[in-house]
Amino acid sequence: MAAVDLDPGSRGAVSGTGLEMRDITAMADRLVRDLLARSDIIGGAKPPRIIVDSSRLVNKSSQRLDTDMISDQLRAQLMRAASGRMRFLSREAMEDVAMERKLKRDGQVDVATRGMTRAVAGSDFKLTGRITSLDSRDNRNGMTQRSMQVIFELIDLESSESVYISDPYVIQRAQQEGVVYR
């Protein structure tokens, strides 16, 4: 059988009780709308600098998940929708940034088109999150049920204040035969 292209926003040909791409897209969309509506976060004179990566996206669910996929989707949708009202910092590229800064300061390369700064940009906020689940199985009929919850929180990196917490994104699904997520 030939491969079939599917819409990532719809239920796939193989789906189960766990978190799927359509869920990741939907919760990213909800988070984008929530954050962009918060004038206390994006209403300042300068756009806030935010770190969105998988380092504090904790998967405590029973499902094996690629948290990089979730954080990449969140960052991409936020960046596209924010249109300059938020700035995003990458701490994943710090080694590359440090090496390039050293090359510039040692005179081995020119200062490029944007010039040099005194220091690497500091962050105002970090987006964190937690994924949890509750599973049950009826051994009489083989029915499996999973409830998953995803919650995001925006932390002020100067004061440690939690300035935003999302409504829980909850999915609850049941099925007779299990799908294995890899």
Above 80 in pLDDT, residue 6? no
Q: What is the mean pLDDT of the chain?
A: 91
* The pLDDT of residue 160: 98
Q: Which is nearest to 50 in space by CA: 21, 79, 88?
A: 88
Q: 168, 175 in Cβ contact below 8 A? A: no
| pLDDT (0 to 100) of residue 181 | 64
21-175 topology per CATH: Rossmann fold (3.40.50)
pLDDT tens digits, 71-123: 999 999 999 999 999 999 999 999 999 999 999 999 999 999 998 999 999 99
Compute the average pLDDT of residues 156-169.
97
> In the prediction, which pLDDT does 134 show?
94
Q: Is 72:55 a contact under the CB 8 Å cutoff? A: no
| Cα separation values, 177 from 16, 63, 156, 168, Å | 9, 16, 44, 27
Note the pTM of the prediction, 2 decimals. 0.85
